[in-house]
Structure 1
């Protein structure tokens, strides 16, 4: 698998070891997060309003292949999420990430329907945490197809688990950060592979003891396939863990149709405040009132048991204090616009 630098390759074993130690021992105490960053690439340049830290860069290194440098954010482990920003049926995935000097480097790959590498805009997000004390129920996992955990975080300090349920299907459990349920909070899932792969949340469930996410991954033909993947769970906290600050974040689940109020949260206005209206076949305009303060990041994940995938039609817009995601777009495996389930998460640095 290609790596952005020799440093990443050299540290691969160390990253895996750290992931196992976190999963089996008591994590060190640290602020949440240890490091994080995000960037918005419009296909030609980094958009400052969607970029944190300001020194982040994106370097195209091949057709549909990009090196993202998160300036000053080097840290072993963590997770990357990425969402395509394109008005056509494209998706983007994380290939690899790791420290290079003071920076965190990630390789992002983008494809069009059919699995052909293709240039695309995208929104990329990196975070890594240790210790306890996130702002709300929060956790993440970077997992191998076998269920082995490469890196993880759990706000309660408990070890997460990943159990294969069949080809391209896993149960990811976050113990100790449960809630009343039956479905609370939000999830983001991203494929971590060098070959065209899409991962999504089939569904998730909430009980007082834990959160459980069922992850599906598909190949370019729309068949279930084993793959590495990342999954993050957030509830009343930002996608990188803390609350409040940041003061401005929100998430929403489109089933299709409105999900439970507990899956629609706005850090300023509370539950059920974010809105969604149809903007055409496969298009959904999502409005996050009073949290439109830059720099900020938006991530989208398709949900459901089919091979549909979702992204962003255009970069989001801000008319302070409101944030407009115009629009989430969803497609069948063949690239036809379709009304599909998805989660959308918006997270400001402020």
Structure 2
């Protein structure tokens, strides 16, 4: 796969883009919800709203009903939780009455559907954001057309399809010091009969905004075109809130580790989260154990490796402990691949 030279193109972010921000005064987020599904049941400590349900609708297929979270557009991310290699994708999501319903499916290496635990998060935003940090998302078709988007600077994001299974995503106006700041999550959106997964190849940060590279693969590990969701966060939660929530954090394992500006803790500041890297990577978010909370993981870097969680996260005193992030090759062998991990509380 040829590399994408996004670092040379930050000036392009200054070009005018069509804004799709909602009406002035709208809250950010309009709605958000997340769920932890473990042991065949919804786990309250990792779920909000409390009435959220998960129904098994087929082998490795699930229907999530986020209670009272009805909204337009938005994005969904999902992370498999299993000590054996698995990944999950989004099949689709839409409002249903007062609820938001998301369908997901999960697979083992080779693309066979399989049951697994997982965590998933939904958010939708419009209108101006409160001061502090930067936040944006896209739900993009394989060709780069935007199904939905948000940009906390009020500008319009853009997606370019640059090759088979490759895209460049522009978040103009989301300026940061650079050269790499914040964090991202990427998730494939594909029918259950077409297994796919996505990751973040890389990104560049600067005062004019963010340029992110997304790559997606089929079950055979080959680059493949698919719809996908991508969320960018910088000193804001993965669902866009700043204060509140007071408890969120993120970390990039390059590997090993990443720039300080890609390691943020809303209580303790930059560089406070810790990493013990390997094929099983222990991540600790100090002072963030405020429930309910959610963890999301996405792979980063070249190749078709994929990442998830070995077990559901735990809480030790005031700390959130992720034991562990696990990554695998396409064949299912343990891998010390790069990943991005995001911890988010509802409070």
Cα separation, 2, equivalents of 1:200 and 1:40: 21
Cα separation, 1, equivalents of 2:84 and 2:255: 21
Partner residue, 2:14: none
For residues 171-225 of structure 1, what are the alpha-carbon distances to aligned partners after superposition, in whole Å with 9 as ceiling and x for unaligned? 0000001211000000000000111101000001101111011000000010000
Partner residue, 1:152: 149
Q: CA deviation at 1:26?
A: 5.0
TM-score, length basis structure 1: 0.92
Cα separation, 2, equivalents of 1:199 and 1:28: 32
Distance 1:25 1:32, change over 3 A: closer
What are the equivalent positions in structure 2 for 1:25-44 lying under 5 Å apart? 25=20, 27-29=22-24, 30-44=26-40
For residues 242-282 of structure 1, what are the alpha-carbon distances to aligned partners after superposition, in whole Å with 9 as ceiling and x for unaligned? 1121110000000111100000000011000000114xx51
Partner residue, 2:79: 83
Partner residue, 1:59: 55
Partner residue, 1:246: 245
Q: CA deviation at 1:133?
A: 1.1
Partner residue, 2:4: none
Cα separation, 1, equivalents of 2:276 and 2:340: 14
- The answer on whether the counterparts of 1:141 and 1:160 sit within 8 Å (CA) in structure 2 is yes
Instruction: Say which SS state the counterpart of residue 57 (structure 2) adopts.
Output: strand
The runs of 4+ residues in structure 1 deviating greater than 6 Å are: none
What are the equivalent positions in structure 2 for 1:243-282 lying under 5 Å apart? 243-278=242-277, 282=279
1:236 maps to 2:231 = no
Q: CA deviation at 1:24?
A: 4.7
Q: CA deviation at 1:313?
A: 0.4
What are the equivalent positions in structure 2 for 1:1-350 lying under 5 Å apart? 24-25=19-20, 27-29=22-24, 30-134=26-130, 135-194=132-191, 195-278=194-277, 282-350=279-347
- The answer on whether the counterparts of 2:21 and 2:126 sit within 8 Å (CA) in structure 1 is no
- The answer on whether the counterparts of 1:293 and 1:320 sit within 8 Å (CA) in structure 2 is no
Cα separation, 2, equivalents of 1:320 and 1:343: 24
Cα separation, 2, equivalents of 1:173 and 1:285: 31
Instruction: Say which SS state the counterpart of residue 155 (structure 2) adopts.
Output: coil
- The CA RMSD measured in Å over matched residues stands at 1.1
TM-score, length basis structure 2: 0.93
For residues 117-145 of structure 1, what are the alpha-carbon distances to aligned partners after superposition, in whole Å with 9 as ceiling and x for unaligned? 00010000000000111542100000001
Instruction: Say which SS state the counterpart of residue 116 (structure 1) adopts.
Output: coil
For residues 131-177 of structure 1, what are the alpha-carbon distances to aligned partners after superposition, in whole Å with 9 as ceiling and x for unaligned? 11154210000000110000000001100000010010000000001
Aligned length in residues: 327
Cα separation, 1, equivalents of 2:121 and 2:115: 18
- The answer on whether the counterparts of 2:20 and 2:149 sit within 8 Å (CA) in structure 1 is no
Cα separation, 1, equivalents of 2:108 and 2:181: 32
- The answer on whether the counterparts of 1:81 and 1:230 sit within 8 Å (CA) in structure 2 is yes
Cα separation, 2, equivalents of 1:31 and 1:103: 18
Q: CA deviation at 1:27?
A: 2.7
- The answer on whether the counterparts of 2:138 and 2:157 sit within 8 Å (CA) in structure 1 is yes
Distance 1:334 1:25, change over 3 A: closer
Long gaps (5+) in structure 1: 1-21
Q: CA deviation at 1:319?
A: 1.8
Q: CA deviation at 1:43?
A: 3.7
Instruction: Say which SS state the counterpart of residue 42 (structure 2) adopts.
Output: coil
